[in-house]
Chain A
Amino acid sequence: MKCETSDRKDPREDNDEEEQQNLISMFKRIHKFQTNTEIEIRVYQGAVSYGNQWIPFHQALSTIRSTSTIRIVSLDCREVNDNKLSEMDIINWLHQGDIHFIISHIHQGIINVNMNKLYTSIMKLHDHPGFPAGNNLQCPVFTQDKYKYLSVLMSKGLCNATLKVDFLPTMDYAALKLELQSYVIISYRHYCYCVYITLSHFYVDSLKKTMKDVAG
C-alpha cells in the first residue's frame, strides 16, 4: 500500500494550492491519455477487516484489470490513524490518484475526526473521476448524516419524531430543556414509552426512562 502523508493543516488555508493540485492532476490524466501509461485507482476501503463492499468491488476490478492497465492502491482507517492523517490528507490522497473509489464510510474508525471538516473537504472530489462524485458526495446515507435523511422521511410521517440538538460554540441548556420538554410530551402522546439520546455518526448512547418520568 502506498500512503502519502503530509503535515496537518487547515483545508481553508490555501485555495491557490488546491487549484494547482487540480491542474497537476488534470495534466497527469492528459499525459496518461497520450502515453497510455498505467492508470492509478485509489480506494478508500475503511475498516482493516474488509467491509461489505470489498469482495464485490475487487471482483469487479479483476474483470476490468484484464482489459486495462490499472494499478490499485488502497487506504484503510488503521493507516489513517497510524500516520495521523488529517481529513484533508485523506481527500488529497484520493484526489492525487487518477480515479478515486470510496467503498466505506470514511469517518468510521478514524480517531479525532472532525465530521464537518471531512465532509466539507470531500467536495474537492466533486469533479474528480471516481465514485462517489458530483453531488452524490453529499448523500446523507453515504455521509451518515442521520438527522438529514430522517428529516426527509419525517416530513412524510415515515419515521419517529426526532429532536436535533446542534453543537454550537455556546450552548443554551435552559432553552434546550424547554425544547426537550415539548418534544417528550409530543412523543409520549404519539409514540412510545421511553427516550434515548442517539449520537449521530458514531454510536447510540441510550438513556432509558419512561416518558412519564421524563415529562415529570
Chain B
Amino acid sequence: MDEIVQKIKIQYDDLYHSIPYTMVQATMENKKEYKIVFFNCEPRYVSLLPNQGAGKAFSSAPHTDLLKFAESALREFSAGCPLALVGSLMRVDIFQTKSGKLIVNELESLEADHHCPNRGIKKAMVDDEIRQYYETLLKNVLHQEHFKMI
C-alpha cells in the first residue's frame, strides 16, 4: 500500500500543475482487449491494432455478444452524458474480468486508431462516413446566419 501512495506522491510532485487528478484502477488478469469501432453509435467492426494486449481470446467472429455489449455501453454513456460527442468515430475498448464479465476499459474518439482486418475495406468505409460528417458540419456552419452570402 505504501508503494502505491509513494507512486501517487511522485506523480503529484511532477504533475500537480498540469493535471487535476490521477486514478487507481484494478487491472485485468487477461490482457486481451477488443476495440470496437463505431460510427454514429452503430458498431462497424472489431479493430486490430498492433499494440493490442496479448491474452486469452474471449470472443470470435462475428463477435455478436461483444458488439451488443459495446453498443449498449455506448448507448448508456450517451444517455448518461447528453453533451457527449458520439455522432462520428468512436471506439469502445473492452476487457473481460476473471469472472467472465465484459467491461469497458476506455472510450476514444478523435484520435481513435481504427485499423481493420479484411484489407481495410471497412476502415475505408468508416473514413468516408467521417468525411461526410465533416462535410455536413462545414456546410451547416457556413450556412449560419452570418455566412449566408457564401
Q: Output the nearest chain A residue to B80 by Cβ-Cβ distance.
A: A152
Whether A53 contacts B16 by the Cβ 8 Å rule is no
Given contacts A39-B150, A112-B18, A167-B21, contact A192 B8 (CB under 8 A): no
The reply to whether the CB of A195 lies closer than 8 angstroms to some CB of chain B is: yes
Given contacts A52-B113, A142-B110, A195-B27, contact A165 B22 (CB under 8 A): yes
Whether A192 contacts B98 by the Cβ 8 Å rule is yes
How many A residues touch B, CB cutoff 8 Å? 95
Residues of A within 8 A of B134 (CB): 53, 56-57, 59-61
- Within 86-117 of B, Cβ neighbours of A (below 8 Å) are at 86, 89-90, 95, 97-99, 103-114
Residues of B within 8 A of A57 (CB): 130-131, 134
Q: Output the nearest chain B residue to A30 by Cβ-Cβ distance.
A: B146
Task: Give the contacting residue for B85; candidates A141, A161, A209; CB below 8 A.
Answer: A141
Whether B4 contacts A153 by the Cβ 8 Å rule is no
Q: Output the nearest chain B residue to A100 by Cβ-Cβ distance.
A: B141
Residues of B within 8 A of A46 (CB): 110-111
Q: Which among A115, A197, A200 has the highest number of chain B CB atoms within 10 Å?
A: A197
How many B residues touch A, CB cutoff 8 Å? 71
Given contacts A52-B111, A56-B127, A165-B8, contact A129 B21 (CB under 8 A): no
Residues of A within 8 A of B149 (CB): 33, 36
Task: Give the contacting residue for B26; candidates A56, A113, A129, A211; CB below 8 A.
Answer: A211
User: In the complex the two chains form, what is the Cα distance from A148 to B21 in whole Å?
Assistant: 11
Residues of A within 8 A of B104 (CB): 150, 153, 158-159
Residues of B within 8 A of A173 (CB): 5, 8-9
Given contacts A156-B76, A156-B80, contact A59 B110 (CB under 8 A): no
Given contacts A64-B142, A139-B84, A141-B90, contact A192 B150 (CB under 8 A): no
Ranked nearest first, the 9 interchain pairs of A and B with the lowest CB-CB distance are A60-B134, A187-B26, A56-B130, A56-B131, A152-B80, A60-B135, A135-B83, A29-B146, A163-B24
Q: Give the interface of A toward B (CB within 8 A).
A: 26, 29-30, 32-33, 36, 39, 41, 46, 51-53, 55-57, 59-61, 63-64, 68-70, 98-99, 103-105, 108, 112-116, 129-132, 135-136, 138-142, 146-147, 149-150, 152-153, 155-156, 158-167, 171, 173, 176-177, 180-181, 183-184, 187-188, 190-202, 205-209, 211, 214-216
> 26 A-B pairs, CB-CB below 8 angstroms?
A33-B149, A56-B131, A60-B133, A64-B135, A99-B142, A105-B111, A116-B20, A129-B144, A136-B83, A138-B83, A141-B109, A158-B76, A160-B103, A162-B23, A163-B23, A163-B24, A167-B15, A177-B1, A187-B26, A190-B97, A196-B25, A198-B25, A199-B11, A199-B15, A202-B18, A205-B7
